[in-house]
Amino acid sequence: MRCWACGQPARGFGHLDLRHPPADPRRYPHRWAFCSRRCQDAFHQLYDTRRRHEPAALEELVPVTLPLSPDAQRACLLALGNAADAVGFAVPLAQYSQRQALHVIDAVIHAYERQQHQQSRALRGLPPLDDFEDSEIPF
């Protein structure tokens, strides 16, 4: 799940829609999740402004979608190329078996997640991780 405000991974901050009773699932909107108190407060300011001036527009508060960073695009493209090379470039996409298609999808998703993880470590001032996931560690 992504932060509504900035697109980073959500970290347990959320929003209750108190217009609905406790048993109503609309009270706990899953799309309103946040990574920090700062993003949550920014959302609540917008929510409160909309609630006071334009109550019908509250349902339009949908998550912000951010474009992929250039580094994530390159990582995904490289992973896609390597996975397609393993299948064979002569094989059209429509003729991939389910196993081959899932291999390509897993490769791209793994590359994207790794890039996001490395980016978040860099933002926090932590050194990059070695490629421990690809090593032959038995545990």
pLDDT in tens, 37-84: 888 888 878 878 877 887 766 666 654 445 567 788 888 889 999 998
53 and 88 part of one domain: no
Does residue 139 form part of some domain? no
Domain assignment of residue 104, given as a range = 70-134
CA-atom Rg of the chain in angstroms: 20
Per residue in 20-44, pLDDT tens?
788 877 776 666 788 888 888 888 7
Nearest CA to 27 out of 13, 15, 39 is that of 15
44 and 88 part of one domain: no
Per residue in 82-113, pLDDT tens?
998 988 888 888 899 999 999 998 998 888 87
pTM: 0.45
Q: Write down the residue that tokens 């349902």 correspond to.
A: 59
pLDDT band at 138 (very low <50, low <70, confident <90, very high): very low
CA–CA distance, 57 with 61 (Å, rounded to integer): 7
Nearest CA to 117 out of 128, 125, 107, 108 is that of 128
Count of structural domains within the chain: 2
23 and 74 part of one domain: no
